[in-house]
Amino acid sequence: MDRLLIVRHGESEWNAVRRLQGHADINLSARGREQALALRATVQALSPDFVATSDLQRARDTAGLLGFGSAEPVVRLREHDVGHWTGRAIPDLQAECGDDYANWRAGAFTPPGGESWAEFRDRTKCAVSDLASKVSGTLLVVAHGGVVRALLEGFLDIAPHRIIPVGTASLTVLRCRGRSLTSMRLELFNYNPAGPVFDAPD
């Protein structure tokens, strides 16, 4: 692999009302479908050689709307498992346990019954590394906001507390130097054809 394209899925029904999803299988909203279609031309122009997607429906539907309905579903590309926080409204979590929520966003707290940040980061990095070994050119991964942040730490050593939430239906690009996964660099971050996103939903 010489280039990694990472797309966060379009807005989901729970993104729209600011609920944490984790592994919950939530559909795209109408707006999310429009967002994915708006990104399609950009991703198509980059001509990925292989496409993988989280097996969750919001990611699979985004891949289809981008023109890659036959993308390979990969369970290890699922979003961060937030355990008992699944389905909780983010404003409620911030009001009830603000420090824990802030620490979770920074990768320093594991929700009850959930997956630690280190487990999540290692899971997603290993999934992409395995996929990269099969691709000589450009790999496209359609996944989740947390996956983008986990891969930025896994491959570029950027701590999660230093990365803003990425926008729905946004594109991030990493380039490999000499096709080495140990010498990747950030080529594009959080690109959205509608303009900059500064308050993306978790």
On whether 8 is known to bind a ligand per the annotation, the reply is yes
State the Cα angle at 28 between 148 and 72, rounded to 5°.
60
Structural element, H or E, at residue 51: strand 50-54
Instruction: Name the token pair of 121.
Output: 């980061």
Residue of 23, 34, 72, 79 marked catalytic? 79
Cα dihedral across residues 91, 92, 95, 96: positive or negative: negative
CA within 13 Å, CB half, 129? 13
On whether 153 is known to bind a ligand per the annotation, the reply is no
State the Cα angle at 64 between 156 and 119, rounded to 5°.
35
Residue of 9, 23, 80, 144 marked catalytic? 9
Q: Report which of 109, 53, 112 is spatially closest to residue 78, judged by C-alpha positions.
A: 53
On whether 103 is known to bind a ligand per the annotation, the reply is no
9 counts as catalytic: yes
On whether 85 is known to bind a ligand per the annotation, the reply is no
On whether 11 is known to bind a ligand per the annotation, the reply is yes
Between β-strands 180-191 and 171-177, what pairing exists: parallel, antiparallel or unpaired? Answer: antiparallel
34 counts as catalytic: no
CA within 13 Å, CB half, 59? 32
On whether 13 is known to bind a ligand per the annotation, the reply is yes
129 three-class SS: helix
Say if residues 140 and 48 touch (Cβ distance below 8 Å).
Answer: yes
Contacts of 75 (CB under 8 A, 6+ apart): 54, 55
On whether 15 is known to bind a ligand per the annotation, the reply is yes
Binding site listing for substrate: 8-15, 58
Binding site listing: 8-15, 58
Active-site residue numbers?
A: 9, 79
